[in-house]
Structure 1
């Protein structure tokens, strides 16, 4: 009888020590992080503030740097492509600012867990909080940079109409998509550190393959446009860029981005639930 009691106790201890896995664990972590969103907001804001501490201009150095970068690219590539500067510079400005938000978020998503190893190993905190922290940090930077666009648009005689309201759902869908990609990359890069460089190289290639520094209409007639429609980054950029120019995103833009959001989150939740408990061992 005593042996049976002993075996039952051992079995109970094993169940308690065995790490949970599955969708429930993933949803619990994500739900806990969302309920404690203020923690991620504070961390993200402090990251930006500390970067420009004791600077007279502060975080608006981000805006100045982006303005110089866009102006230089506009002058150089506008001359190379012989484009109308009044049309090309606002197009370039909106594209570069949106792409910078996407690429920086994904790059920093790769190191979200590895750069916070001290907190993860010492403090009981949802892992998804570190993803929200990185995403919020880049949203703040995007907010500083996007103020350049209306200045450029007004300078060249452009206008804004009521279609600008589409930027709200478009930006929300973009952030939701970035969140699952960042979470997926954070897990993979915590295990395989070289993947950070792989992602960086892929983003560099996609920057030139996406209509950002060039316009679709300048492509020769014999060049197929299919590679653009198959490029998810093009649709992500259009969710923000199209409303800025007074047009709603196309149905294809919505379909691709919503499809990526649903399928991506379903796969990431399963993947995160399976490997969440291993992240601490990989750091």
Structure 2
């Protein structure tokens, strides 16, 4: 096999000379960001298409979330024998944030598989599909903020200037949604067992994360107080707290911000490494 033939075979598998470079990885992210008008429009169209011919349209996003939050809040407040005025907002806001996190994880694992046609026939950066996914999940989150506003009217909380921390907190969620989608999306195109495995792990993580239960309630029980503190090793808990605490006027725990900051840096490092090495192969794997 001569050098020209070997070069053509490498090119067919996305391993052409120079295909694995940091410049191309960062260039893909930059090119995708420059096309924000396109992925912004596509993300909005995804929502409109889902509720096409529906009378209430995207309002169903908030209605369905509100019904679930109300049902779980009432049920678990009775089980834990706690005040519904504080527990219902805790559950509702937790679900609101969890929907964004789980949406980025679950849809991120199939972000390239679901866009197979566009990837094969549209000369666009891979990151465009990631931006589109995170933007779509952001729109869902903004729709559901109506529930938080209603709860703050019905069950007033002592909100202060710390409420503004919810903005950078959510920005960190969105930034992490990017590297998670890149990493899991690329792995899932190569190994199709990844999405169902991730779905199972996310389902388990829901019950292990204080969404429909509270650390404060368990800490009040001397028998399980020490075990309740083990929630600190769950990174999803910290992602929840950097947004939920400001939205509910609770004490800001800076430890959670530090944990999320470290995960963000490490996560993007791994995500960019994966993008650098396998970005060119995705079109052949899907």
**Could you state the TM-score of these two structures normalised by the residue count of structure 1?**
0.92
Q: Tell me if 1:258 matches 2:261.
A: yes
- Give matches, 1:264-275, under 5 Å: 264-275=267-278
CA distance in 2, matches of 1:86, 1:51: 34
> Shift in Å at residue 204 of structure 1?
0.9
Q: Secondary structure at the match of 1:58?
A: coil
> Shift in Å at residue 162 of structure 1?
1.5
> Shift in Å at residue 226 of structure 1?
3.9
Tell me, yes or no, if the aligned pair for 2:215 and 2:229 is still in contact at 8 Å: no
Cα displacement string for residues 89-118 of structure 1 (whole angstroms, at most 9, x for unaligned residues): 011111011001110121011111001000
CA distance in 2, matches of 1:32, 1:126: 6
> Shift in Å at residue 36 of structure 1?
1.4
Runs of 4+ in 1 over 4 A off after TM superposition: 13-17
Give the match for residue 101 of structure 1: 100
Q: Which runs of 5+ in 1 are unaligned?
A: 1-6
Tell me, yes or no, if the aligned pair for 1:164 and 1:247 is still in contact at 8 Å: no
> Shift in Å at residue 235 of structure 1?
0.6
Q: Tell me if 1:215 matches 2:214.
A: yes
Give the match for residue 230 of structure 1: 233
Size of the aligned set, in residue pairs, is 275
Tell me, yes or no, if the aligned pair for 1:60 and 1:144 is still in contact at 8 Å: yes
Give the match for residue 64 of structure 1: 63
CA distance in 1, matches of 2:138, 2:187: 23
Q: 1:77 to 1:16 in 2, by over 3 A?
A: closer
CA distance in 1, matches of 2:171, 2:280: 29
Give the match for residue 204 of structure 1: 203
> Shift in Å at residue 16 of structure 1?
10
> Shift in Å at residue 228 of structure 1?
1.2
Cα displacement string for residues 18-54 of structure 1 (whole angstroms, at most 9, x for unaligned residues): 2510322211111111121111111101000111112
Q: 1:15 to 1:76 in 2, by over 3 A?
A: closer
- Give matches, 1:27-46, under 5 Å: 27-46=26-45
CA distance in 1, matches of 2:204, 2:255: 23
Give the match for residue 151 of structure 1: 150
CA distance in 1, matches of 2:201, 2:71: 24
Q: Secondary structure at the match of 1:114?
A: coil
- Give matches, 1:71-82, under 5 Å: 71-82=70-81
CA distance in 2, matches of 1:16, 1:222: 61
> Shift in Å at residue 185 of structure 1?
0.6
Q: Secondary structure at the match of 1:147?
A: helix
- Give matches, 1:132-151, under 5 Å: 132-151=131-150
CA distance in 2, matches of 1:124, 1:157: 51
Tell me, yes or no, if the aligned pair for 2:157 and 2:249 is still in contact at 8 Å: no
CA distance in 1, matches of 2:246, 2:95: 15
Q: Secondary structure at the match of 1:115?
A: coil
> Shift in Å at residue 77 of structure 1?
1.1
Q: Tell me if 1:195 matches 2:198.
A: no
> Shift in Å at residue 173 of structure 1?
0.9
CA distance in 2, matches of 1:16, 1:212: 48
Tell me, yes or no, if the aligned pair for 1:166 and 1:248 is still in contact at 8 Å: no
